Amino acid sequence: MKTILRTLAIITALSCGAYAQFSFDGGKMPSARDIEVPQVSGPASAAAATPAVQPKEWTVMVMLAGQNDLASNAVIDLNEMETVGSSDKVNIVAEIGLGNAGSARLLVYKDADTKKVSSPLISIDKTADTGDYRRVIDFAKWAKQTYPAKHYLFVMWNHGSGVNDPLDPPGRKTKGINFNYNNGNYVRNPQLAKIMAEAGPVDILAFDACLMQMAEIAFEVKDYARYIVASEEVVPVAGFPYDAFLKSLNDNPAMDAAQLSRAIVASFKDYYSKTGDGVQLSAIRADKVAGLGSLMADFAAAAREANDTAALGAGIKGVIRYQIKRPLQISYSGDVGHFAGLTAAGAGDKLKEKGAALKRYITDELVLANAELGKNQLGQEYTLSTGIAVYLPPFTKISRENVEEMFETKYDGTSLAFNRAVAWNDFLPLLYNSR
């Protein structure tokens, strides 16, 4: 049923243009009109929004930013959560923004009917903008206050574009995390740090979105989570299999953050092993991100000193790439560990040592779990992925200026925490000249 519903949702999105129209009128969940997910519930009882007397083991907070062409998929994923539902040990709380209808919040109850979402709505805001980082903060703070727990999993669900906070010139539709098609707003990467600083720390921060497992993203949020779960690559429209990992959590609510992070990654791999999609998803230890930055800085310094453009060029040419844009085959992100290993293989002793140390740290210290299945658009096996990506020059001779003209957040020494710590931006000229 899940696969059938998702297929229908994709067909609907393709046939209906930008996105289906929705309404929260009557205090009910709106229908994704062209798929069989009618919503029948009314407003919540007062008890549904009353804080628990004692914190539960876990609160799972899911921000479904569906004010875009993924609206129907947001409804499907919410219905998927209902197949498990909250329990006496686990809260599952969601905010769902849909099309131009605004946004609603709800505590997810178990419901065996796979054709409808029945969880009662706690609140409706028809003017809500899920592309506004302040709305994300408000949801997370509300969820923590209303449904306290010993541990928190926070999922940001939407399109994702990794390091590229996109400019959106007329006539070119681009994507960002929590992208709102109604007004073009979205959450910029530096705003992720603001969200987490104000919302407070969580055990796991997960991005059910494309391209978000990058060093640049990890540096923005590393101080506010124990684990970061995300993909280096484009995530298929089906996203996370919520029914699978939430069932694991409800079956074992005493699991710790590392166990749940592994469960998310394992369920992702299991689901896509049955669909035939090529995918990658990893969980990294946030307290190891600073160490990653130090070793990347050492590697970059050694590379500049050696000026070994042949070794760097081999790394740029051979590294596994993500979101390859055809027909020009432009990709500006690649796996850090694979790039370091390829470069080290053809380098002198010092650069070889720094590259090997960087790759070893990623595989032995940084990455908790890594799922890779299939191949990318260039035919490269995802098993080459070590679990964390970074901005690398395209292997085609497009200029840095042409790549970064689409970036709203400048890739300089001040705009991103990663470059303030690592100065990767200063390393890029040598990388561009090494192709």
Residue 148 falls inside a structural domain:
yes
Which residues in 213-223 are b (16+ Cβ under 10 Å) and which e?
A: bbbbbbbbbbe
Q: Are residues 321 and 416 in the same domain?
A: yes
Residue 241 falls inside a structural domain:
no
pLDDT of 94 reads: 97
Residue 243 falls inside a structural domain:
no
Residue 102 falls inside a structural domain:
yes
Q: Are residues 302 and 201 in the same domain?
A: no
79: domain CATH number? 3.40.50.11970
- Helix axis angle for 309-318 and 336-345, nearest 10°, is 140
Listed residues 209, 243, 273: the one ending a domain: 209
Please enumerate, as own/partner, the contacts of 322-325 that have beta carbons within 8 Å and a separation of 24 or more. 322/162, 322/211, 322/232, 322/233, 322/234, 322/280, 322/376, 322/389, 323/162, 323/210, 323/211, 323/233, 323/234, 324/376, 324/377, 324/378
Listed residues 164, 183, 209: the one ending a domain: 209
Q: Are residues 195 and 310 in the same domain?
A: no
User: CA angle at residue 262 from 238 to 267, to 5 degrees?
Assistant: 30
Q: Are residues 203 and 319 in the same domain?
A: no
**Domain interval for residue 302:** 289-433
For residues 46 and 350, give the distance between their C-alpha atoms in angstroms, rounded to a whole number.
65
Residues 130, 103: contact at Cβ < 8 Å? Answer: yes
For residues 418 and 181, give the distance between their C-alpha atoms in angstroms, rounded to a whole number.
29
pLDDT digit string (tens) for the chain, length 435 residues: 344 334 323 323 322 334 445 666 666 666 543 333 333 243 444 445 555 568 999 999 999 998 888 888 999 999 999 999 999 999 999 999 988 888 999 999 999 887 788 898 999 999 998 889 999 999 999 999 999 999 999 999 998 988 888 776 433 444 457 777 877 788 899 999 999 999 999 999 999 999 999 999 999 999 999 999 999 999 999 999 999 999 999 999 999 999 999 999 999 999 999 999 999 999 999 999 999 999 999 999 999 999 999 999 999 999 999 988 765 567 999 999 999 999 999 999 999 999 999 999 999 999 999 999 999 988 999 999 999 999 999 988 889 998 898 888 999 999 999 999 999 999 999 999 998
How many structural domains is the chain composed of?
2
For 389-434, the three-class secondary structure string (H helix, E strand, C coil) is EEECCCCCCCCHHHHHCCECCCCCCCCCHHHHHHCHHHHHHHHHHC
Residues 98, 70: contact at Cβ < 8 Å? Answer: no
pLDDT of 326 reads: 63
Instruction: Give the torsion through C-alpha atoms of 231, 233, 239, 244, to 10 deg.
Output: -50
Classify 233 as helix, strand or coil. coil
Classify 90 as helix, strand or coil. strand
* DSSP β-ladder status, 103-107 and 121-125: antiparallel
pLDDT of 328 reads: 58
Residue 302 falls inside a structural domain:
yes
Residue ranges of alpha helices (H) inside 335-380 are 336-345, 349-361
Q: What is the DSSP letter of 166?
A: B
Q: Are residues 205 and 295 in the same domain?
A: no
Q: Are residues 203 and 304 in the same domain?
A: no
Which residues does residue 381 pair with via DSSP β-bridges, in sequence order?
Answer: 375
Cβ contacts of 40 within 8 Å, gap of 6 or more:
28, 29, 116, 118
Q: Are residues 37 and 178 in the same domain?
A: yes
pLDDT of 200 reads: 97
Residues 242, 81: contact at Cβ < 8 Å? Answer: yes
Listed residues 179, 209, 239: the one ending a domain: 209
Residue 263 falls inside a structural domain:
no
Instruction: Give the torsion through C-alpha atoms of 327, 330, 336, 338, to 10 deg.
Output: 40
Residue with tokens 């009353």: 50
Q: Are residues 67 and 200 in the same domain?
A: yes
Residue 39 falls inside a structural domain:
yes
Q: Are residues 182 and 296 in the same domain?
A: no
Phi/psi of residue 10, each to 5°?
Answer: -65, -45
Residues 160, 233: contact at Cβ < 8 Å? Answer: no
pLDDT of 41 reads: 41
- Closest residue by Cα to residue 114 from 140, 155, 76: 76
> How many contiguous H segments (helices) and E segments (strands) does the chain have?
14, 11
Cis-peptide, bond into residue 166, ω within 30° of zero? no
Q: Are residues 10 and 150 in the same domain?
A: yes
- Whats the size of the chain, residue-wise? 435
Residue 261 falls inside a structural domain:
no
Q: Are residues 311 and 185 in the same domain?
A: no
Q: Are residues 22 and 133 in the same domain?
A: yes
